[in-house]
Amino acid sequence: MLRRLHACSRIGRQAAAIAIFGGSCLTCSYSEGRIYSSGEILGRGVRLEFWKAKHPNIVILDLDHEIVRLGMTRVRKAECEGENFIHDANAIMRTVVNFALAELPKNDDIVVTTSEGHQCKGSELACLIYGVSMATSPVIQRELQQVLRDVLPSDSVLSCVQIEQGRNGCYKFLASTSPDTIEDHEILVLIPEISDVECVIGFIHYLAQHGVEKDKITVATLVIHREAADKFCQVCKETRLVTASFDAAKGSDGYIVPGIGNFEERYASLVSDTSCDNQDLSCSSQSR
């Protein structure tokens, strides 16, 4: 009996080791019948802290913020369609952009005077911002631009970037505007989901080629998967990424698992075509 208990104990320790150090186990399989949760692939406790230490430039919001979990739950639901989806998607994107702003340089030693003459300590952004919305479809750009306009400071420069991919894998970016002194700005990029991280990396390389330091770029998104996040950290380790959720994988259909489905298709169902007057930025946009 005692020998049997020791054997069970060894099996338990082996299972725990598999869970902590990333071995294969039943709970890590991507089957249709299972129930997923954001960040589960990273584990909890020591394993999660170890992952955070290796990926210091990635912030996963719904691990710590209930308001983000509530918003992501709404947009994940299949029955959230049409105007409801657009409303809920805009709301959670505004939340993510607000959290992304908190990652930018700030002056935390500010004293302001209220309209009634009272003085109060506070903090404010200590930078100019170039806000960029990225999408493959020009149809949804007006809404994404409005999200940025609602959240970013009024003196921010806004631009929409349409993503196109050529047969050779080279990405072409069509941008509406860019500041003359782009290198003097903090760049905040809003892209609804990151299934294919190569397009984001390609745009970051484009910005770097035009004088923007990679540590002055912040990417805000609703969801990314582990493989994309690992590649992002490997290639753009100086660039910050703020994501609402962190999902398990990219499925064979190209969608994130569990993800939010085809975001642009769901979003564009009720949005009129209001594409930007874009400038071709394709000359230097190949992902590396």
Q: What is the pLDDT of residues 100-142, one digit of tens each?
A: 999 999 999 999 999 999 999 999 999 999 999 999 888 888 8
Domain annotation covers residue 34:
no
CA distances from 172 to 24, 168, 217, 235 (A): 38, 11, 19, 19
Residue 220, domain CATH: 3.40.50.2020
Phi-psi region of 195 (alpha: psi -120 to 50; beta: other; left: phi over 0): alpha
- Give the residue, 179 or 182, on which the prediction is more confident: 182
pLDDT value, residue 28:
42
Q: What is the pLDDT of residues 50-65, one digit of tens each?
A: 988 989 999 999 999 9
Statement: residue 220 has pLDDT above 80:
yes
Q: Considering only 103-112, 196-205, 278-287, which range has the smallest mean pLDDT?
A: 278-287
pLDDT value, residue 6:
43
pLDDT value, residue 132:
94
At 276, the pLDDT band (50, 70, 90 cuts) reads: low
pLDDT value, residue 182:
84
Domain annotation covers residue 87:
yes
Most confident of 27-36, 44-53, 134-143, 184-193: 184-193
Domain annotation covers residue 23:
no
> What is the percentage of the chain residues whose pLDDT exceeds 70?
80
Domain annotation covers residue 178:
yes
At 43, the pLDDT band (50, 70, 90 cuts) reads: confident
Q: Considering only 52-56, 83-87, 282-286, which range has the smallest mean pLDDT?
A: 282-286
What is the Cα–Cα distance from 232 to 201, expressed in whole angstroms? 7
Please state whether beta strands 106-113 and 157-165 pair in parallel, antiparallel, or not at all (unpaired): unpaired
- Give the residue, 288 or 107, on which the prediction is more confident: 107
- pTM greater than 0.75: yes
CB 267 within 8 A of CB 192: yes
Domain annotation covers residue 25:
no
- Give the residue, 9 or 214, on which the prediction is more confident: 214
Q: Which helix (H) or strand (E) holds 129?
A: strand 128-135
Domain annotation covers residue 109:
no
pLDDT value, residue 158:
93
pLDDT value, residue 44:
87
Domain annotation covers residue 14:
no
Tell which residue, 72, 67, 71, has the closest CA to residue 38.
Answer: 72
Task: Look at residue 145 and give its three-state secondary structure.
Answer: helix
The count of structural domains within the chain is 1
Adjacent-strand bridge partners of 279: 175
At 169, the pLDDT band (50, 70, 90 cuts) reads: low
Structural domain boundaries, residue 82: 41-104+125-268
Domain annotation covers residue 5:
no
